[in-house]
Amino acid sequence: MPAVSFQAISKTFATPKGPFQALNQVNLDIEEGEFFGLLGPNGAGKTTLISILAGLARATSGRVLVQGSDVQAQYADARRKLGIVPQELVFDPFFNVREALRIQSGYFGVKNNDAWIDELLENLGLADKASANMRQLSGGMKRRVLVAQALVHKPPIIVLDEPTAGVDVELRQTLWHFIARLNKEGHTVLLTTHYLEEAEALCGRIAMLKAGQVVALNRTSELLKAASGSVLQFKTDTALPPALAAVARVTGRIVQLPAHDAAEIENHLAALRVAGVEVQDMEIRRPDLEDVFLQVMSGTSASNLPLEGGAFAAAPGRPKQGAAPLGGSEDTAVPSVGAQR
């Protein structure tokens, strides 16, 4: 039995301009003990899908099962099995951190939970803030409390919706070490994030959503293998010639140029020499998850990126399910999460 099963989920919202379909026949099975990544651009439907999982929104059609419990028909059972960290900062301004966690425990009928609360406070760097009022905390500290609240009743399934948005590097490292430990102990983790290096390092399987449909679904290693070519990466303060600028991905001084083979790399280098572009720290690397993600979202190589069961991303929306659960492989390594590229 999957830990979470999304079965033909569709969601349509009524808007002044007419119906808007946020999700279109989404099928996903997340296995027990898996670290699963759900990626997509803003507006792809990730948070809508999680809201349906949490029971905060109703699907127009389809259903969601949490360890066999329907999130609508058996809401209490399903909710008890979930620990959800929302994207928005939501907190009660009248209690300190420890009181907020005790109250959250009570919502799930958990008594005498101080030992686990102390462990959460220690592992999330909140021990010195236990007596601080929630209003006194910074945004990053409030997000730590949200993570602690999601974990306080020891749910078997942890759902993280952008958990590291707006937090410092130290917390990101601390959080991922702790979540990776819980995953190794058997907890299932569903993660949505825009930090793709985190998803690449942590998630054993990844689904990519675009306009409410699944356009890629497979093990992280398989998605990376399916990406073709190489990337020529370097730093420069010089403007690129127009032909290269049209295909380059530029982040500050860092330039990344896709290349299908060695001949194309040589053509890029020749064009840089002719244009007099001074390059520093040049390297040739394999495509990473960010490259794969951009290729899928732009539609430039969707047909090369396999869905599970031999289907392909060019036919989105109904992928075959049933991937093997994670092993203790490099897929679950904790990333070094410094600044984004």
Domain residue limits, the chain: 4-81+155-225+291-332, 229-286
How far is it, in rounded angstroms, from Cα 340 to Cα 245? Answer: 21
pLDDT reading at 285 higher than 50: yes
Q: Are strands 188-192 and 4-15 parallel, antiparallel or unpaired?
A: unpaired
More confident residue, 305 or 260: 260
Q: In what order do the strands lie in the sheet with 61-66?
A: 18-30, 4-15, 61-66, 69-70
What confidence score (pLDDT) does residue 4 get? 94
Residue 341 pLDDT exceeds 50: no
Instruction: Tell me the per-residue pLDDT of 120-167, one tens digit each, with 9 for 90 and over.
Output: 999 888 888 888 888 888 888 888 889 899 999 999 999 998 888 777
E-assigned strands of the chain? 4-15, 18-30, 35-39, 61-66, 69-70, 82-85, 157-161, 188-192, 205-210, 213-219, 230-235, 249-251, 254-259, 280-285
For 44, the 3-state DSSP assignment is coil
Question: Is residue 116 packed enough to be buried (19+ CB in 10 Å), middle (13-18) or exposed (0-12)?
Answer: middle
Structure tokens at 11: 């969601």
Looking at every residue in the chain, the average pLDDT score rounds to 83
Query: With 90 as the cut, is the pLDDT of residue 183 above it?
Result: yes
How many Cβ atoms from other residues are within 10 Å of residue 18's Cβ? 6
Which residues touch 128 (CB under 8 Å, ≥6 apart)? none
- Strand intervals (E) in 225-312: 230-235, 249-251, 254-259, 280-285
Q: Which residue has the tokens 């990466």?
A: 233
CATH number (2.40.110.10, 3.40.50.300, 3.40.50.1820, 2.60.120.380) of 4-81+155-225+291-332 reads: 3.40.50.300
Residue 207 — pLDDT band, cuts 50, 70, 90?
A: very high
Q: Which of 39-48, 60-69, 215-224, 306-315 has the weakest average pLDDT?
A: 306-315
Taking residues 82-88, report their average pLDDT. Answer: 88
Span 89-111, average pLDDT:
88
Q: Which pLDDT score is estimated for 202?
A: 92
Query: Both tokens of residue 199?
Result: 């998803």
